[in-house]
Amino acid sequence: MNTSKRTYIKDAFSKKTNSEVELFGWVHDVRDLSKIRFLILRDISGRIQTISIKGDSVPEVFELVGKIPRESVVRLKGELKDSKQAPGGKEVIIKDLEVIAVAEHPLPIDVSDHSKTELPKRLDYRFLDLHRERTQAIFKVQSTIVQAYRDFMIKEGAFECLFPSIIGASSEGGTNLFKMKYFEKEAYLSQSCQLYKQMLACSMEKVFAVFPVWRAEKHNTVRHLNEARQFDFEMAFADDKIVMDVLGRCVQYIVHAIVQNHKKELEMFEIELKVPHIKYLTFEEVKEMMKKYKIHIGKDDLSPESEKKLGELFPDTIVFVHDWPLSGKPFYIMPSEKKDKNGEQLSNGFDAIYKGMEISSGGQRIHIPDLLIERLKIKKLNPKDFKDYIDSFRYGAPFHSGWGLGVERLTMLIMGLNNIREAVLFPRDRDRLTP
Half-sphere exposure of 33 (CA within 13 A, CB side): 7
CB of 226 to ligand ATP, least distance (A): 7
CB of 231 to ligand ATP, least distance (A): 9
By beta-carbon proximity to Mg ion, the closer residue of 336 and 361 is: 361
Number of residues lying near ligand ATP (CB under 6 A):
16
Check if the beta carbon of residue 92 is closer than 8 Å to that of residue 80.
yes
Of 74, 92, 137, 225, the one binding ligand ATP by CB under 6 A: 225
Of 225-233, 276-284, 321-329, 392-400, the window that binds ligand ATP (rule: CB under 6 A) is 225-233
* Residue 361 found at the interface with Mg ion (CB under 5 A): yes
Of 54, 224, 279, 308, the one binding ligand ATP by CB under 6 A: 224
User: How far out from the chain centre does Cα 373 lie?
Assistant: 35
List, as own/partner pairs, every contact residues 22-25 make where C-beta atoms lie below 8 angstroms and the sequence separation is at least 24, other chains included.
22/75, 22/76, 22/77, 23/48, 23/50, 23/75, 23/76, 23/77, 23/78, 23/92, 24/73, 24/74, 24/75, 24/76, 24/100, 25/73, 25/74, 25/76
* Residue 75 found at the interface with ligand ATP (CB under 6 A): no
Of 161-169, 236-244, 249-257, 399-407, the window that binds ligand ATP (rule: CB under 6 A) is 399-407
Rounded to whole angstroms, the Cα distance separating 112 from 127 reads: 14
Q: Which of residues 189-218 bind ligand ATP (CB under 6 A)?
A: 215, 217
Check if the beta carbon of residue 92 is closer than 8 Å to that of residue 79.
yes
Q: Which of residues 341-360 bind ligand ATP (CB under 6 A)?
A: 358-360
Amino acid in position 141:
V
By beta-carbon proximity to ligand ATP, the closer residue of 317 and 360 is: 360
Of 404, 415, 423, 427, the one binding ligand ATP by CB under 6 A: 404
By beta-carbon proximity to ligand ATP, the closer residue of 24 and 332 is: 332
* Residue 198 found at the interface with Mg ion (CB under 5 A): no
At 287, give phi and psi (nearest 5°).
-55, -50
Check if the beta carbon of residue 372 is closer than 8 Å to that of residue 253.
no
- The count of residues in the chain is 435
- Which residues form the catalytic set? 215, 217, 223-224, 358, 361, 409
Number of residues lying near Mg ion (CB under 5 A):
1
Report what 27 binds from ligand ATP, Mg ion, none; CB cut-off 5-8 Å by kind.
none
3-state helix, strand, coil in the chain (%, to 5): 35, 30, 35
CB of 79 to ligand ATP, least distance (A): 50
Of 190-198, 202-210, 259-267, 360-368, the window that binds Mg ion (rule: CB under 5 A) is 360-368
Helix 240-261, helix 407-414: angle, nearest 10: 50
Of 409, 415, 423, 429, the one binding ligand ATP by CB under 6 A: 409
Residue from 118, 140, 141 nearest 129 by CA: 118
At 47, give phi and psi (nearest 5°).
-135, 150
| Beta carbons within 10 angstroms of residue 185's beta carbon | 8
Question: Looking at beta carbons, which residue is closest to Mg ion?
Answer: 361
Binding site for ligand ATP (CB under 6 A): 215, 217, 224-225, 228, 230, 358-361, 404-406, 408-409, 420
Binding site for Mg ion (CB under 5 A): 361
